[in-house]
Structure formats: structure tokens, C-alpha cells
Amino acid sequence: MTISRRRFLESSAELGAVSVLAGAPAMAAAGGEARFFVIGDWGRDGKHHQRAVAGAMAAAAVAADPAFIVSAGDNFYEAGVTGLSDPQWRTSFEDVYSQESLQRPWHVILGNHDYRGNVEAQLAYSKLSHRWEMPARYYTRKLAVPGGGAEIFYLDTSPFIRKYAGTVTNTAGQDKRAQLAWLERGLAASGARWKIVIGHHPLYTALGGHGHDQPDMIAAFEPVLRRHKVALYINGHDHSMQYVEMGGIAYVTTGAGSHTYQPGPASRAGYCSGDHGFLAVAVGAAAVRLDFIDARGKSVFGKTLGV
């Protein structure tokens, strides 16, 4: 079905997006829901269906009025950006996501391809852009939702992947222990009804097995997510759209913002597709609604997570 205003708003009133400060509510969910989109693995100068996905996301944003858009990393292929004057800022971001409905905050994290370039430039672009927000390599944002709210923890996952050590994916000098301690403290202190964690790399995928599940991520993060009853983990990296539940946690892959591959059937109970598209999330007090939207603007998979 085509993504519609009713699917996102249902019986709720219009929700107004406001600018987001670190740790501050992203929006006042007067109608009972807070909505945002997630797109991953997109920066290809508008090619490989990137513009088509951008168009579908822009149309969906008119209907849903998301508070913000999340970039799940690999923002620029193949090797990040060289600096603030890199033409990819225009050719892969500003000129592709140019629609009025996409002129809202973008919460950005880093992917492994971004680590092949100038990471500091991606951080610094936050000071030049009215929508690009990457205040640090990892950070939090809150959503005001009646009944307890939600909190999103944005991770920097590339330093946890051991095979990157000593390669062009330059994660040298990043303190993994400090990031894990930060996440542990933040989740423990959070009073949010919904705890959501977003990183570039997956833990578990619907495909499963070598090359899809990430053992380094599972070892580092799964105990923390389980200990603090995280409901939802969202990632990019795999150029596909996937959903699977493992150990009471929903794992969602949304890495289909441009180039994708046909992944084959899921080896676990879940969903797996090589369609181009993005993820729409609606957070309420009693449930979280997830929808994969393809480049035609169609909802190709939906799932509701209950308390």
C-alpha cells in the first residue's frame, strides 16, 4: 500500500517538529506519537536510485511530518569526504535531499566508509548546516511521548570492528571502552519508556551467519542492550532492508538508501529485501510502529512493537 497520512497520524493531531538540542525533547507529541525516518548507506552523487529514495522520503515526510531524519552512516562513498569544501556535500546531500519537506534536522552517525575520509569535517559541517547534526561521534536525543517518552542513543560502531585495524578505515585512537561506559551509564540513567539504539553496523540480521551478523558487535553490545531492556536496535551497513527479533530485541537494518543487493531469503523468521528505501518509525506510549518504505513510496513491510 502507499504510505499515507492515516498510517502515520491515525487519529492523532498534527505534531510539530522543533529544533533539537543535546538531551532535549525532539518534538512535543501532542497527538500521542513522535515520528522519525531512518536512511542508511546513501551518498552516491544521486545515483543508484538515491534520488528515487529521496523523492519517496520527501513525499512521505509531507504526510508524516517527522521530527527528524536519521542517517545511519556511510554518508559518502567510497571514502567519506575530504573536507568542508568537498563537492559531495552538494552532489550527494544538499542537491539530492533538497525538497522542502526534508529541510528538517538530520541526526547523523558515521559508517566505515566515512572513516576512510575526513571524519572531523563531518563533525564540523554541523556548524555550517541548518539541518546536519553530528555533535559528537556518539550522542543522545530524547523524544517527548506521553507515558514516559523515548530516548535514542546514537553510536559510533566502526571502532568495534576488529578487521578495520590498520586499514584505510582509520579508526585508530578511538576509545571503545569509553563509548561502552557512556552507553551503559546513559541507558541505566534513562527513564524513557522506549530505549532505542542506532549504530551503523548490525548485531543480528534476518539473513544470519557469516558476513551478515557481526560477532564483534554482538560481543560488545548485546549484553548492554539486554541488561537495560532496549526495545529496538537500528543499523545500516547491509545494503538491504531487514527485520528480525532476537532475545526480545527488534533488530532493524535500513541500508537501502542507494545501491542495494538482492540478499536472498531470510534464514531466520523475519523480513529481508533488496528493495531501495528507508525506515519510518512512529513512537507512541504503548507501541512503536516500523514501516519499510520503498522508492515508489509503498509500505513493503510493517511491524508494531508492543510494551
CA angle 289, 1, 58 (to 5 degrees): 70
CA distance linking residue 71 with residue 14, whole number of Å: 24
Going from N- to C-terminal start, the domains of the chain cover: 5-306
Tell me if residue 210 is catalytic: yes
Confidence of residue 13 (pLDDT cuts 50, 70, 90): very low
Q: 102-134 pLDDT, tens per residue? A: 999 999 999 999 999 999 999 999 999 999 999
SS (H, E, C) 202-257: CCCCCCCCCCCCCHHHHHHHHHHHHHCCCCEEEECCCCCEEEEEECCEEEEEECCC
* Average pLDDT score, the chain: 90
pLDDT at 31: 60
- Does an H or E element contain 282, and which? strand 277-284
Catalytic residue among 49, 113, 201, 210: 210
Confidence of residue 267 (pLDDT cuts 50, 70, 90): confident
Superfamily of structural domain 5-306: Metallo-dependent phosphatases (3.60.21.10)
CA distance linking residue 176 with residue 220, whole number of Å: 9
* 152 phi-psi bin (left φ>0, alpha ψ -120 to 50, beta other): beta
Global model pTM greater than 0.75? yes
What percentage of the chain carries pLDDT values higher than 70?
90
Q: 119-172 pLDDT, tens per residue? A: 999 999 999 999 999 999 999 999 888 777 899 999 999 999 999 999 999 999
pLDDT at 183: 99
Q: Which cell numbers in the block locate residue 178?
A: 569509553
Q: 47-63 pLDDT, tens per residue? A: 999 999 999 999 999 99
Confidence of residue 266 (pLDDT cuts 50, 70, 90): confident
